Every structure is written in C-alpha cells, then in structure tokens.
Structure 1
C-alpha cells in the first residue's frame, strides 16, 4: 500500500530510518543577564516507531518537567551575561509498522471535551462557516468522522495556498483563512478551528517530518499538523498542509490548543534590545 502526497510514496512494511539535526539560535542586540528557554522537543513515539538515539544540548542549568498537556519539557537557564543562546537536537528514529495512522499507547492527560475550547491562535468565528458547510451532521457520526475530516483537508487545500513568508508564529486561523495563504502551522490552526466549530475535539501537534522530499510541504524547521478525536479510535492525525494522515515518518514531540502551547522552543530574558531567532532543521531518510 502507498500513501501519496504529490509524487511522494510511503512503502508499507519497510523499516525506514530518519536523522534529525535541529538548531535554534537566539542572538541578542544587547547582552542578557539571565535567560530561560523551554524546549518541547522530546519525542513521543507511536506504535511501530522507535527512537534510536536522541540528545538535546543547550547552555546553563538544565531541568526536566511535564507541562499540563503532558509534554516533556527541558528548560535551560543561563544566569550569567551572554549575547546568544543555541539549542541543538540530534536524533535518529525509525518506523517499521503497518498502521494506517499513528497510534499512541499513552493515556490522554486531558478529557476530549477540553480540546473544544475556542481560544488562542485556533479561535473560530462565523468566517469558517462556508468552509464547513454541510459537514456537521456527518462529522457527528463516529463512523463517518474520518472521511469527513479528510474532505475538510481537501477544502482547506483549495482555500489556503501553501506559501512561505506570508505569516508568522503569531498568525491566527482567522487571519490565515482571510489571507488564503500560509504554511503548515496556519493550515493546522484552520483545520483545528473548523473541527472545533463542528463540535469535534482537535489539538495542535508539533513534530518532525522529513524535509528532504520536494513533494512534501515541510519547511526548514519542525513541522505542524493536527489531531482530531474519533470515538473508538481516539486521536487520529491529519496533516492538512500535505493532505495526508501522518504516518511513521511524522514524529510527534508536543501537543497543545495551538502553536503557543506546543512551541518547540520558547523563552524569556532579562535585558534590553531585540532578539533574533534563527532555526535550521534537517530531517532526512538515511537508510
């Protein structure tokens, strides 16, 4: 069986290994006396996935904790004067399963209705009604929900062109829909907003997807998609930027109501001036 995204194919039954090098750097206009950076980049492998190796490197004092959404967080605290911070992830993961979508053994930390909250970057309003027209009755039927959400992805693809440089990490679903263009983060927020307006619990996923395949819409950073609640199946992934259900090459690291909850790296500092963030990620097939 194959999965298509453009000319890209997924070969079922073959063990595939992927390498990750992901660097996030902050350069400060003026030295900072203290900065703290929260890193949500510890993977949550699905059935059939295996983490071969994983390392997160960063400066200063390191601590580990779990946030309210069940994400593993690594915090780096630098308590001396500094002009830059760099956080780097090196990893290898592989997949050899045959599931039709990513399945997880972990127990949900929050009940499904929590993910109906109309808040944040995925907030919805009446501007989404034309996008979900005629879907509500079928979406309410668990037996039809997956098919309906695939149809929703198709509608989003027709309304929002994949285009870099037109949005930021603070762009809302309402803004992305009105603009009609965006990247994976925007597509995920619009999909989540539509799901919640239909009464379907949905959440934002931050993770990795190979970016060595020109037929996939993946930037030079980490990737974004969504998960929707389907009774009997629990959380099912949807990648509206690529029109697919994520498979074993998609590695989940964090979930949240929107990007801000699941941001790969977020921080705060004591000091003046601006901070410039640069991100470079390489996720490639190595076998």
Structure 2
C-alpha cells in the first residue's frame, strides 16, 4: 500500500489588477475504497472560505471567491494519500455482453454513460470498435483490446493538441496526450455500448517508468459486468492499480476540470501548473507547465485545464 506526497500548485498571474474572482476546484481525492486520504491542506490567495459540495458524479468540489483587487491567484494543494488497491486486479474477464446489457438497463447512470453522439469520423470509430470486439471474447477483453489499439496506433506527443481538441482531430493527428487518448477510448467503448467515464488524477512513480508520471493525468473507467468500475490507462496501456490517484470522474474532461472560474477586469493572464509526486523511497517526480493566455474580456472564464494535459 504505497503512500504518495502530492504537491499541486496552480498559479494565475495578471498583467493588471482584476477583481471578483469566483472559482470552482476539483482537487480533492475521490472517495472510494481504493485510496485513503491521510492529510490534505489547501492554501489559497487571500485565504477565502471554501464551501465544499458533492456533484452529480460523486466528486467533491470547492467553491470560493476572491473579491478584492489582486494581480495573482495561487491555489496550492498538499496531499498525502495511500493507495489501497492491489497491484494485481482480479477483473472479471468472463462477463458477457448480455450480462452487461442486463446491468446497464437497470441503472440510469450506466445508461447515460453508455450513450454516444456520432462524430464526423464516426465510421472510423465504428471500424476500430468492430476490430477490437472481434478479437475479444468478453467485455473486459474488449476494453483491454481497445486500450491496446490506441497505445499501438497513436503517438504520445505533447503540444500538438489542446483541451478543445476533438476526437475527430485526434484521429487526424494520430497523436496526442492522455486527455486525448481518454476521450478516444470513451468514444470507442460507448459506441459498443460499454458504460465508461473520464477520470482525472495523478499518475505516480513506477519502477518501470510511465508516460505522464509526476503530473496530473487522465484515464477512463469502464463498467465490467459482475465486477463494476475498472480503470484502464490507454496512455500506458495498463489497468489502473495502486499507481494512480483519482481526483474526479465524469462524462468528459469538462466534468473534471481541476480549477475553473471567472474574474472581472481587462487583463491578460498567465497560467502555470506545477505538480510534484514524492514516493516513500524519497524519489520525487516533478512537472511544470507554463501557459500564456490572451483573453481580455470583462468577464473572463479561466480554467486550469492544462493540468490534465500530460
């Protein structure tokens, strides 16, 4: 049961004073049997009161305001978490498609997460879905095959996509980062009728090395009949065990944005996101993203969306 020390700093800097910043944060560990929060401290500019709620998907989120004039907003999370999932999962690889249909039809949430709207390149998605299903003998095997397909046919390249990149564009690029691969896998699985949800969190140090470790990360969870939610990471083509820390879940990235909000003022803003993950043996993995934004509207929307783009 490894213990991780996770330090996550989101920093907004403005070229002129702004005011009335209203924000929503989803940087609380997801409450589930696979992880245990040992300590969590939040430090926010101006020390505002944070109201904590639970959303439709079961995520904890905080809401706060920074009303006085300011030229910097820093949101710092210091988390110590123990992951309690076994290193070897016992996923049900015998669950049939009929069992999946029976379970999905009795739960409204699963029905919602199994539906998929067609995209411009839907026929390409259909081809991929058919090919992975033909090679598999069960729902879990199909999920695994779909993850493997993405891992083998799409390159992991930072900087060529953004948070607004669509699945159509990912298919065109044949490349992307964790968020892109998660959305692509969701589209494939939902096309097959497999309830699936987006997951935002951290990928922690692994002796074999993993793409995206030491930073915020994204993967998906698929509903496996007679088992439940099983996480799978298409960026690394692994089932999720105790090297992933989960923050939030939802239908897509917008349901899991770590930080988003609005402010008043005609200012340009600069966003930087720093994440470090410390392991029990003293190793520390760090990642820093600097993002320049040029929004100058009176009521600007800002999002720490790049924190999931690793």
- Shift of the alpha carbon at 1:125? 2.2
Identify the structure with bigger relative contact order (alpha carbons < 8 Å, sequence gap 6+).
1
Match of 1:251 in 2: 245
Match of 1:56 in 2: 42
Match of 2:308 in 1: none
Q: 1:169-218: CA deviations, max 9, x gaps?
A: 22122211211111111110100011111111111000111157672111
CA distance in 2, matches of 1:35, 1:213: 41
Runs of 4 or more, structure 1, over 6 Å off, are none
Superposition pairs for residues 265-280 of structure 1, below 5 Å? 265-280=259-274
Match of 2:193 in 1: 199
Counterpart secondary structure, 2:242:
coil
Counterpart secondary structure, 1:133:
helix
Match of 1:113 in 2: 111
CA distance in 2, matches of 1:79, 1:241: 40
Match of 1:21 in 2: 7
Counterpart pick for 2:138 among 131, 140, 144: 144
TM-score, normalised to structure 1's length?
A: 0.83
- Shift of the alpha carbon at 1:263? 0.8
Superposition pairs for residues 219-258 of structure 1, below 5 Å? 221-258=215-252
- Shift of the alpha carbon at 1:58? 1.5
Which consecutive unaligned segments of at least 5 residues does structure 2 have? Answer: 92-106, 282-310
Match of 1:160 in 2: 154
Superposition pairs for residues 27-42 of structure 1, below 5 Å? 27-42=13-28
TM-score, normalised to structure 2's length?
A: 0.77
Counterpart pick for 1:177 among 171, 178, 181: 171
Counterpart pick for 2:53 among 65, 87, 92: 65
Q: 1:141-175: CA deviations, max 9, x gaps?
A: xx711111111111111221111111112212221
> Contact between 1:102 and 1:248, CA under 8 Å: does it hold in 2?
no
> Contact between 1:220 and 1:280, CA under 8 Å: does it hold in 2?
no
Which consecutive unaligned segments of at least 5 residues does structure 1 have? Answer: 1-14, 104-108
CA distance in 2, matches of 1:80, 1:112: 43
Q: 1:122-152: CA deviations, max 9, x gaps?
A: 997223123223344787xxx7111111111
